[in-house]
Structure 1
Amino acid sequence: MSIQREAWLGQNVEEAIDPGLPICDPHHHFWDREGDRYLLDQLTQDLGGGHNVAQTVFIECHSMYRAKGPEEMRAVGETEFVQGISAQSASGQYGSTEVAAGIISNANLMLGDAVAPVLESHVAASANRFRGIRFSCAWDASPEVTAGRSSTPGMLGDATFRAGFDRLQRMGLSFDALVYHTQLGELADLAGAFPDATIILNHIGRPLGVGPYAGRRDEVFADWQTGISAVATHENVVVKLGGFGNVISGYDWHQRDVPPGSEELADTIRPWLDYCIEHFGPERCMFESNFPVDKASYPYTTAWNAFKRVTSAYSDAEKAAMFQGTAVRAYRL
């Protein structure tokens, strides 16, 4: 994150609402890219805004893959990398948050049953924290929408993919599903075919707001509702509430002179969140930061303030589930 971007975010600093509420942030990344670094120091700075973040879960982002060795095994380098950061956090020198208490890495499920050695290597690299994989299946026909790496149309129903998925679930590992809202019906079919698998839907199903979907928010919302309703009927799926700051959502906060405050953010995202909570129930919902991706649009403290504003009328038990309990259970922390 550039100095200029940090200065932009610093124009709208808020104090944390309900700072005592325990939080598990089940979705953030670490990377060290040219001109863009987000490691433990940067996360610790964001965590310092006043919210009570007790644990976090790292989600794969193609970071620190091995430079050598079989192609399918290179992703294990990411688990090794984050396992080291987890140990660094466990020293206590970076605050009380258990950073990367769970690790979700990548493995190519299109290897079919041959993905087993890759999964076993992830487990060996982090026997105490590795919990599952995210293998992006996000695909759209429009060249203006960025497809996930290695994604192809219909992947969720592909027999080879499902053989790999079956191996994953038989090893007791979870699957983070990264799809677009147009693919939610396919995900519902996968969930029905594997009722014993734990599937964690990322970013409320990633409703699109760019390319051919720009300026069609009401239509996208209606299509998304249909998909969410189908997915929610499957008890083995839980949903992450967040991801709105990604520019693919089409809200364009990143282009404004000043980032949005939590009141505006809450008003904007409330219809999406209310619909998810209504259909999944609090016990199958978890709030997420999606940092530093969502940091393109608003600060960390603002994001959690917005989530707390949206849920202000919920019971203490319901808040406890959505802010920590569901994530802790789904990721076996």
Structure 2
Amino acid sequence: MPVVDAHQHFWNLETGSYPWLTPEAGPIFRTFEPEELIPQLAAAGVDRTVLVQSMDSYADTDAMLAQADAHDFVGAVVGWVPLLRPEEAAQALERYRRHARFAGVRHLIHDEPDPDWLLREPVIEGLGLLAAAGMPFDVVAVLPRHLEHVPVLAERVPGLRMVIDHLAKPPIRDKGWEPWASLLARAAECPGVYAKVSGLNTAADAATWTGEGLRPYVEHALELFGPGRLMFGSDWPVATLAGDYAKVWRETQVALSGLGDAERAMVLGGTAAHFYRMEER
């Protein structure tokens, strides 16, 4: 079974535009490209990655697909299409699906002023296009409101497969629990909804976080989704705001230490390979 990092990014500040990425972002306000990640993947024993969009733009998606063409370790690309403009989205999907490793769509919904952006009628129509194409949707659930939308979307867009990025950012830093835990449970009741064990270190205290500190949140997700609907992701290079790739990998093993070998292998690769249909790509 392959070992898969189901959530990582690249960006180039000289050739791309990322309005959210400003000097205030500190150490991640620079270019991150494959040559920097490759040795870190090798050290961790990661075989494939899922390269995820960093901006709602065709330029970012095109750049990621070019990286996939150049690097075999990129097993799948989660890009962007304009869901708010369904006719244009249909054309973009038709074009991007010709690329073997275009495997999903994401939109930076947490940057939208409207917290209910996902429930706009044109967006629902756009998500219906994804469902019809068998293309999954990555949900950036930063606010509780975003997580509330997941079961609504599951009902309104039958057949849409979704994955919740970063376990919807549980309140680890404050040692909180609700409403995150109950909202995640409601989302998990939908069989087509998966989740990523990713981005948890930046939801915790950057200086003191450990795998043991993440473990209650990860185990809650395991109880809800099971290993067959959970997948590991590093969230590199955002993860470097609170450690490095090696620490994220090491402490994730601690958080998953209650699992048997077969279950751990699912979270560390099997689930992502299945969800993004890497074997078909």
| TM-score tier after normalising by the smaller chain length | 0.7 to 0.9
Which is greater in Rg? 1
For 1:161, what is the secondary structure of its paired residue? helix
The within-5 A match list for 1:119-158 is 119-124=93-98, 127-138=99-110, 148=111, 150-158=112-120
Determine the structure 2 residue equivalent to 1:55. Answer: 48
Aligned counterpart for 2:193 among listed residues 230, 233, 237: 237
8 Å contact from structure 1 (residues 270, 310) kept in 2: yes
1:137 CA drift (Å): 2.1
1:1-333 → structure 2 map (5 Å cutoff): 22-33=2-13, 36-48=30-42, 50-62=43-55, 75-90=57-72, 98=73, 100-124=74-98, 127-138=99-110, 148=111, 150-183=112-145, 184-207=147-170, 215=174, 217-218=175-176, 221-246=177-202, 249=203, 251-253=204-206, 256=207, 260=208, 265-333=210-278
- CA offsets, 1:197-231, max 9 Å, x none? 1101100012357xxxx85x42xx21001100100
By how many angstroms is 1:40 displaced?
A: 0.9
The structural deviation recorded for 1:84 is: 2.4
- What's the CA shift for 1:123? 2.3
TM superposition shift of 1:278: 0.5
Aligned-residue sequence identity (percent) comes to 24
Shift of 1:32: 1.1
* Aligned-partner SS, 1:176: strand
Q: Deviations over 1:131-165 (max 9, x none)?
A: 12101222xxxxxxxxx2x4512122221110111
Contact kept? 2:131, 2:158, Cα under 8 Å: no
Match of 2:191, as an amino acid?
A: E
Q: How many residues align?
A: 263
Query: Over residues 100-153 of structure 1, what are the superposed CA-to-partner deviations in whole Å (9 max), with x where a residue is unaligned?
Result: 2101111221113442112223224xx210012101222xxxxxxxxx2x4512
Q: Provide the TM-score with structure 2 as the length reference.
A: 0.87
Contact 1:201 1:239 in 2 (8 A): yes
Q: For the residues of structure 1 that align with 2:88 and 2:80, how far apart are their CA atoms?
A: 14
- Check whether the contact 1:32–1:38 (CA below 8 A) recurs between aligned residues: yes
Distance 1:331 1:58 in 2: 11
RMSD (CA atoms) = 2.0
Distance 1:277 1:195, change over 3 A: farther
- Is 1:181–1:223's contact at 8 Å kept on the other side of the alignment? no
Q: Which segments of 5 or more consecutive residues in structure 2 lack a partner in the other structure?
A: 15-28
**Paired residues of 1:76 and 1:122 also in contact (CA < 8 A):** no
CA distance in 2, matches of 1:26, 1:225: 22
Q: Return the alpha-carbon distance in structure 2 between the equivalents of residues 282 and 230 of structure 1.
A: 17
TM-score (normalised: structure 1)? 0.74
SS in 1 for 2:109: coil
Q: 1:47 to 1:156 in 2, by over 3 A?
A: same
Three-state SS of the structure 1 residue aligned to 2:258 is coil
Structure 1: distance between partners of 2:238 and 2:184? 23
- Answer whether contact 1:51 1:301 (CA < 8 A) is retained: yes
Partner amino acid for 1:119? L
Q: Give the aligned residue type for 1:152.
A: D
Instruction: Please give the alpha-carbon distance, in whole angstroms, between the structure 2 residues aligned to 1:151 and 1:276.
Output: 29
Query: How much has 1:36 moved relative to structure 2?
Result: 0.6
